[in-house]
Structure 1
């Protein structure tokens, strides 16, 4: 079924945004189906004022501008000055678009109020400035780190009412970590515990026991098996983060990039249509059975919200 965002997408010259002048893909380009899905969560209306964190290729900015129309406003912020300079050129004929170079968590965007905020980069907490910037009732769509492991992120639709978070629903989607300067996106910026070449591993449990480097070498002996089950990363991550967040493990190796669990000397990882393990076979197969059969959908989960000096920390929980 076509959505308003997908209809807008069909009216835009997508290639003019996602390709540079040499015809190469802009590295900071999000898949079009992901952009459509997340912008639909914003429930945008003509005339809305939108703050966008992470300009990237400018494609999402164009969709926002088309949707809110000439009576609306889009302020888009990016840490990469090359991307903001490019965006200024792309949107020079769009008076409703303002492009700002800076850290979207702390950038001076002037005294502005917004109806919607969308982020394409993952903050450690939802900044207070985003929540306080919502005028009355509004929506923030942002990735949220649900465990202290690299790339352990889900997307949250956050409804705000009078500068308080009123409700949170969980959705799939993970984006790069928010950083104060331009980062090398080939490796996650936060919580990587051991690196060898472009392989890395991350886990709170391994961090506590100083076993990350040993575990990364252990993954060289990972037994990988194809599976007719399509493992949904977001559902597995949500289940593990809500039930035992310290045991969450994320890793990227030539054999299998994935998310999973560490139990003693056993590591179990799940990719899209395969899984792998190293350590005790019985333990690994028990974990696989549980995560294959007993993982609920994302709408099963709720959230606990806690305000701090830096912003709003959102924790995934199992109860509704």
Structure 2
């Protein structure tokens, strides 16, 4: 497996969950990786793979100098930068609109959108200095595509990631630097426990308890895994997507392809009721509507 052989990547938020899965996928494909994270457990990945393959550097992505330092670290340790993955994030301000606090809102934007902007800035500067070429992949969310999946602050920040990446892709195309976005859906990661105020020691059990209810909600019938997102990021990072830029890929099992309720079931019942009144139970069936009860 060598889709990223000899490539050098910076991955923010690589200590656990989706970020950890991205690190593992990249290393398996031959990349050398600098992980930027405030979580010290990310250092375990350096120990696991060896410092010649993975380097952990503590970084707070709301601090501009920390993002710059990650790029500098990649160049000093591995000689260049080919891939930037803007993954770090958290739930941010979950307050209702009527309860918004300006400081918390600004912090959420800085973490989820500002870090993506700065990741583009310093990665692009280095890629251009090397002669051009490279891939920047940013993590948004289905909350950036459809409202209602999280708070207004989170939704807005994630929507901003989509549009920033599109704008950046236009500016950077002449340098052969691509910018794309992966938008995860309902993924089984520890952040769910954080959102629901579950004690850290119960994160794993709580996350596992959501596997079946998530699967019942998602059209493809199963909850998303961090590895699902990692494979999408890997595609955008590799040469397999060399003619793709400014695009967003929702990895959500089909959630954003449908409305928030079972429109098929609603219409099917209406057709059944209407035809029953006409004593024509076998007429008027709608072929494209899935049977969600089967």
Q: TM-score, normalised by structure 1?
A: 0.37
Higher RCO structure (Cα 8 Å, ≥6 apart) = 2
Greater per-residue helix proportion: 2
Larger Rg computed on CA atoms:
2
